[in-house]
């Protein structure tokens, strides 16, 4: 009899412990790199960027080529990015993203006709097709893991006899973070990718902080720092800088190419920027951004050795103003209800 009483008591006690743990988990505020007063993440993002008139200077790094310079009438970029949920749980979120971008260099055709690098770039859509995956996992209320993995096919995929691997660019960022308070979170980790135009590995500090409902900052140092001002719930104003880069593999139309039959175009830019984002409908926002673009590099590199830093021509675009226009959608409750997810 005593055994049954003890067993019943143990069972009831275990149920209470499990229930208490369940209630504790339900009430736990899991750690995240996002802090209070930061804007919501974007679902669909459409961007148009234009760098205005400048001059490009090129220097040959091999004897068979020559130096040159030309007027660059414009450098344009169009980008489409769609994010979608894969797993959404309290502690773990996995998102996917499909991105498609075009770069357009615009020269005067007569000015660049006798220089292959410029004539090949002129009015040619440089395409990038990218798939990205984001993982955010909370260990507890103070610690989290943030991972981003991306794979892209960049360049003249259909014109090459090489395998798709030669066109594939991988980006990986892994960060371990601490959420010190609802308004302060930071993480440290490593990044490998093409922010500097060529494959590079460097340490990263991600730090997001809100001083109050009006002021804060968002950063991924050394590549990005943005001071944030929120005049009201329907508007954000940012000021700061960001560094970005990309690499394309090009295939020459001629077997007698001055450069090589296949080569890499690698570009990296530092942008000083002021950005205004405004809500125009429940889940629809528009943005306008402008500032100065400082080109770090625009190089033609040996396409036969994709990870070898052998430059054929090193170039630089002189500083020029730029503007960016964006239209984006955020996943508000109104949008979820509209598509039947609420």
Find out whether 73 and 101 touch, Cβ atoms under 8 Å. no
What confidence score (pLDDT) does residue 306 get? 46
CA distances from 252 to 83, 145, 156, 303 (A): 34, 43, 9, 11
Find out whether 322 and 284 touch, Cβ atoms under 8 Å. no
What confidence score (pLDDT) does residue 341 get? 60
Find out whether 205 and 188 touch, Cβ atoms under 8 Å. yes
Mean pLDDT of 197-219: 94
Q: Is 232 left (phi over 0), alpha (psi -120 to 50) or beta?
A: beta
Find out whether 218 and 233 touch, Cβ atoms under 8 Å. no
Residues found in the chain: 342
Q: What angle do CA 29, 227, 42 make, to 5 degrees?
A: 60
Of 3-7, 59-63, 282-286, give the lowest mean pLDDT range: 3-7
Find out whether 320 and 54 touch, Cβ atoms under 8 Å. yes
Of 17-31, 205-219, 250-264, 297-311, give the lowest mean pLDDT range: 17-31
What confidence score (pLDDT) does residue 340 get? 63
Among 269, 304, 265, CA closest to 58: 265
Find out whether 245 and 267 touch, Cβ atoms under 8 Å. yes
- Residues 307-321: pLDDT tens digits? 456 889 999 999 999
Mean pLDDT of 55-69: 92
Q: What angle do CA 123, 249, 65 make, to 5 degrees?
A: 80
Among 99, 103, 90, 107, CA closest to 144: 90
Topology of domain 31-338 in CATH is Porin (2.40.160)
Among 35, 33, 28, 27, CA closest to 178: 33
Find out whether 144 and 136 touch, Cβ atoms under 8 Å. yes
CB atoms within 10 A of CB 339: 8
Q: In the chain, what are the helix, strand and coil shares in percent, each to the nearest 5?
A: 15, 60, 25
- Helix (DSSP H) and strand (DSSP E) numbers for the chain: 4, 16
Mapping DSSP to helix (H, G, I), strand (E, B) and coil, where does residue 19 land?
A: helix
CA distances from 231 to 94, 226, 241 (A): 32, 16, 21
Mean pLDDT of 103-120: 91
Cβ neighbours of residue 307 under 8 Å, at least 6 residues apart?
199
219 pLDDT more than 50 = yes
pLDDT band with cut points at 50, 70 and 90 for residue 304? low
pLDDT band with cut points at 50, 70 and 90 for residue 52? very high
Which tokens hold the place of 142?
């103070």
Cβ neighbours of residue 37 under 8 Å, at least 6 residues apart?
183, 210, 212, 213, 216, 230
- Domains of the chain: which residue ranges? 1-29, 31-338
Find out whether 222 and 229 touch, Cβ atoms under 8 Å. no
116 pLDDT more than 70 = yes
Q: How far apart are CA 237 and CA 304, in angstroms?
A: 44
């Amino acid at each position: 009899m005593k055994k049954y009483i003890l067993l019943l008591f143990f069972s009831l006690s275990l149920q209470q412990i499990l229930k208490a743990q369940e209630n504790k988990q339900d009430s736990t505020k899991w750690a995240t790199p996002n802090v209070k007063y930061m804007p919501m993440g974007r679902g669909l993002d459409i961007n148009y960027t234009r760098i205005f008139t400048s001059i490009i200077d090129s220097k040959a790094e091999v004897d068979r080529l020559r130096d040159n310079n030309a007027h660059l009438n414009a450098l344009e970029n169009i980008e489409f990015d769609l994010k979608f949920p894969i797993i959404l749980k309290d502690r773990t979120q996995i998102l996917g993203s499909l991105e498609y971008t075009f770069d357009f260099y615009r020269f005067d055709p007569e000015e660049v006709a006798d220089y292959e690098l410029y004539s090949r770039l002129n009015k040619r859509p440089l395409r990038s097709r990218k798939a990205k995956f984001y993982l955010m996992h909370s260990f507890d209320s103070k610690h989290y893991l943030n991972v981003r993995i991306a794979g892209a096919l960049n360049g003249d995929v259909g014109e090459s006899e090489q395998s798709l691997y030669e066109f594939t660019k991988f980006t990986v960022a892994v960060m371990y973070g601490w959420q010190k308070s609802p308004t302060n979170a930071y993480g440290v980790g490593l990044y490998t990718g093409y922010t500097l135009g060529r494959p590079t590995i460097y340490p990263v500090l991600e730090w997001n902080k809100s001083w109050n409902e009006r002021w804060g900052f968002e950063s991924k140092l050394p590549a990005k720092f943005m001071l944030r001002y929120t005049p009201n719930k329907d508007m954000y104003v940012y000021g700061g800088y960001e560094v970005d880069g990309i690499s394309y593999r090009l295939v020459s139309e001629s077997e007698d190419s001055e450069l090589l039959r296949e080569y890499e175009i690698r570009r990296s830019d530092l942008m000083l920027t002021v950005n205004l984002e405004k809500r125009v409908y429940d889940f629809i926002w528009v943005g306008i951004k402008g500032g100065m673009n400082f080109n770090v590099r625009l190089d033609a590199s040996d396409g036969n050795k994709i990870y070898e830093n052998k430059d054929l021509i090193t170039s630089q675009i002189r500083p020029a103003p730029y503007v960016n226009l964006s239209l984006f959608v955020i996943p508000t409750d109104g949008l979820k209800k509209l598509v039947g997810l609420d």
